[in-house]
Structure 1
Amino acid sequence: MEKKEVIIRLENVRKSFSGVPVLKGIDMTVYKGEALALIGENGAGKSTLMKILAGAYSKDEGRIFIDEEEVEIKNPMDARSKGVSIIYQELSLIPTITAAENVFLGRLPKLGNVVDWKKIYRDSAGYFERIALQVNPRTLIRDISIAQRQMVEIARALSLKSKIVIMDEPTSSLADTEVAKLFEIINQLKAEGVSVIYISHKLEEVLTICDRVTVLKDGALSGVRDIKDTSKDELVSLMVGRDLDNYYPKRKSKPGTEVLLEVKNLKSGSAVKDVSFTLHKGEVLGLAGLVGAGRTETMRAIFGADKKDSGQVFLNQQEVHIRKPKDAIRLRIAFATEDRRIEGLVMKMSVKENTTLANFSSFASPAGIMDLKKEKQIAKEYVEKLRTRTDSINKIVVNLSGGNQQKVVISKWLNTHAQVYIFDEPTRGIDVGAKAEIYQLMINLAEDGCGVIMVSSELPEVMGVSDRILVMHEGKIAGEVAKEEATEENIMAFAVGGV
Structure 2
Amino acid sequence: MDVDVDPRPDKPLLQLRGISKHFTGVRALNRVDLDVRAGELHVLFGENGAGKSTLINVVSGTFPPDEGTFHFDGEEISHLTPQRARAIGISPVFQEFSLVPSLTVEENLFLGREITSSGVLRARQMRKRAQALIDELGFDLDPSRRVDDLSRAHQQMAEIAKALLGKVRLLILDEPTASLTERETGRLFELIARLKSQNVGLIYVSHRMREIRALADRVTVLRDGRHIRTLDAATSTDGELVELMTGRKIDLLFPTIAHKPDKVMVDVENLTLADGSVRDVNLYARTGEITGIAGLVGCGKSELIRAIYGIEPATSGVIRIDGAPYEFPAPRRSLKRGIAYFPANRIAEGLALSRPIRENASMTVLDLPAFARFGVLRQAAERARIADIMAQLQLRPPNIERAAGALSGGNRQKVMLGRALTRELTVFLFDEPSVGIDVGAKLEVYEFMKRLVEAGAAVIVVSSELPEVLALSNRLYVMHHGRIAAELTGAEKTEQNVLSSFFRDHLTAEVA
TM-score range, shorter chain: over 0.9
1:37–1:210 Cα contact (<8 Å) kept: yes
Aligned equivalents of 2:452 and 2:408: distance in 1? 25
Match of 2:348 in 1: 342
Could you tell me which of 355, 365, 375 is aligned with 1:359? 365
TM-score by length of 1: 0.96
For residue 414 of structure 2, what is the amino acid of its counterpart?
K
Following TM superposition, by how much is the alpha carbon of 1:495 offset from its aligned partner in structure 2, in angstroms?
3.4
Match of 2:497 in 1: 490
Q: Which runs of 5+ in 1 are unaligned?
A: none
2:206–2:212 Cα contact (<8 Å) kept: yes
1:473–1:495 Cα contact (<8 Å) kept: yes
Following TM superposition, by how much is the alpha carbon of 1:316 offset from its aligned partner in structure 2, in angstroms?
1.1
Alignment length (residue pairs):
497
Aligned equivalents of 1:242 and 1:129: distance in 2? 46
Deviations 1:32-70 (A, max 9, x none): 111000010000000011111111112111111111211
1:53–1:73 Cα contact (<8 Å) kept: no
Aligned equivalents of 2:426 and 2:176: distance in 1? 34
Following TM superposition, by how much is the alpha carbon of 1:153 offset from its aligned partner in structure 2, in angstroms?
0.9
Aligned equivalents of 1:487 and 1:73: distance in 2? 53
1:334–1:416 Cα contact (<8 Å) kept: no
2:390–2:398 Cα contact (<8 Å) kept: no
Match of 1:101 in 2: 107
Distance 1:412 1:109, change over 3 A: farther
For residue 78 of structure 1, what is the amino acid of its counterpart?
R
In the TM superposition, 1:195-234 aligns within 5 A as 195-234=201-240
Match of 1:461 in 2: 468
Match of 2:482 in 1: 475
* Secondary structure of the corresponding residue to residue 224 of structure 1: strand
Match of 2:402 in 1: 395
Is 1:16 aligned with 2:26?
A: no
2:365–2:371 Cα contact (<8 Å) kept: no
Deviations 1:425-466 (A, max 9, x none): 110000011111111111111111111111110000011111
2:257–2:472 Cα contact (<8 Å) kept: no
In the TM superposition, 1:44-123 aligns within 5 A as 44-123=50-129
Is 1:406 aligned with 2:413?
A: yes
Aligned equivalents of 2:63 and 2:260: distance in 1? 49
Is 1:257 aligned with 2:257?
A: no
Aligned equivalents of 2:12 and 2:89: distance in 1? 14
Distance 1:99 1:474, change over 3 A: same
For residue 199 of structure 2, what is the amino acid of its counterpart?
G
2:181–2:298 Cα contact (<8 Å) kept: no
TM-score by length of 2: 0.94
Deviation larger for 290-299 or 484-493 = 484-493
Match of 1:444 in 2: 451
Match of 1:378 in 2: 385
Deviations 1:304-327 (A, max 9, x none): 112211111111111122432111
Q: Which runs of 5+ in 2 are unaligned?
A: 1-7
Is 1:266 aligned with 2:254?
A: no
Deviations 1:48-93 (A, max 9, x none): 1111111111211111111121112442112212221111112222
Aligned equivalents of 1:277 and 1:52: distance in 2? 48
% identity of equivalent residues: 37
Deviation larger for 110-119 or 196-205 = 110-119
Match of 2:3 in 1: none
Deviations 1:8-45 (A, max 9, x none): 11111111111321111101111111100001000000
In the TM superposition, 1:223-372 aligns within 5 A as 223-252=229-258, 254-269=259-274, 270-362=276-368, 363-372=370-379
2:366–2:372 Cα contact (<8 Å) kept: no
Deviation larger for 369-378 or 270-279 = 369-378
Match of 2:427 in 1: 420
Aligned equivalents of 2:289 and 2:112: distance in 1? 50
* Secondary structure of the corresponding residue to residue 159 of structure 1: coil
In the TM superposition, 1:163-178 aligns within 5 A as 163-178=169-184
* Secondary structure of the corresponding residue to residue 13 of structure 2: strand
Deviations 1:317-344 (A, max 9, x none): 1112243211111111111111111111
Aligned equivalents of 1:285 and 1:443: distance in 2? 12
1:302–1:322 Cα contact (<8 Å) kept: no
Aligned equivalents of 2:272 and 2:82: distance in 1? 45
Aligned equivalents of 2:217 and 2:254: distance in 1? 28
2:43–2:220 Cα contact (<8 Å) kept: yes
Runs of 4+ with deviation above 6 angstroms: none
Distance 1:364 1:383, change over 3 A: closer
Deviations 1:74-122 (A, max 9, x none): 4211221222111111222222221111222221212322221112221
Aligned equivalents of 1:339 and 1:18: distance in 2? 27
Following TM superposition, by how much is the alpha carbon of 1:483 offset from its aligned partner in structure 2, in angstroms?
4.2
1:332–1:418 Cα contact (<8 Å) kept: yes
**RMSD value over aligned CA atoms?**
1.6
